[in-house]
Each structure stands twice: as C-alpha cells, then as structure tokens.
C-alpha cells in the first residue's frame, strides 16, 4: 500500500432549484506528479524512470474508478480520507494494488 496526497478546496455542489440539496465535495486531480506520491527512489524501482508518472496515474485512475470528478465529503469511499482542519483540504488516497508495488 502507498498513499497519494494532494491539497484541494472544498466545493459546493447542488441541484438547481433545490436549496436543501447542497453538499460539500472534494474534486480529484486530473493528473498526478511525483510530489503527490509518498514513494521515493529507495522504495520503488521505477521512481526515477520517465514511465513512473504514467504508472502512478494509471494506478490512481484504476483506484478512483467511478469517482472520477468529485466525491461528497460525507460519502467518501473507504480508500479516501480528508483533513479539513486547514484552509485547503488534504486528500489522501490509499493504493492497494500489488502490481504497482515493486520492492528493490
């Protein structure tokens, strides 16, 4: 398991014409970079490779699956956690896919 972390603002979503349907949600990043992942060169064989970011983005997209745009903060999937104690929310996504975890 490894973690992907990024900061984002909470956004309000709702259905037009219905005042009581507003909810706060986080938006998922469209593309990840090396700094979003908790791995470093000593923990992963591919970290210094040009292919690492594409592998990271593939694992990220496979994990979030149907939640590709945003998620309501009260109905988060089990692999997503958020910290809303600061101005920007910190979103943490856990990747549990063994094919992306290579040991040295």
Per the CB < 8 A criterion, the answer to whether 3 and 38 are in contact is yes
The per-residue pLDDT of the chain, averaged, comes to 77
Give the pTM.
0.73
More confident residue, 75 or 42: 75
């Amino acid at each position: 398991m490894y973690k992907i972390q990024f900061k984002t603002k909470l956004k309000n979503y709702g259905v037009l014409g219905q005042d009581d349907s507003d909810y706060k949600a986080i938006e998922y990043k469209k593309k990840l970079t090396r700094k979003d992942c908790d791995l470093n060169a000593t923990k992963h064989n591919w970290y210094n490779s040009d292919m690492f970011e594409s592998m990271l983005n593939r694992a990220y997209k496979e994990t979030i699956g149907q939640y590709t745009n945003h998620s309501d903060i009260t109905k988060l999937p089990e692999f997503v956690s958020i910290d809303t104690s600061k101005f920007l929310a910190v979103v943490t996504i856990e990747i549990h896919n063994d094919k992306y975890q290579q040991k040295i």
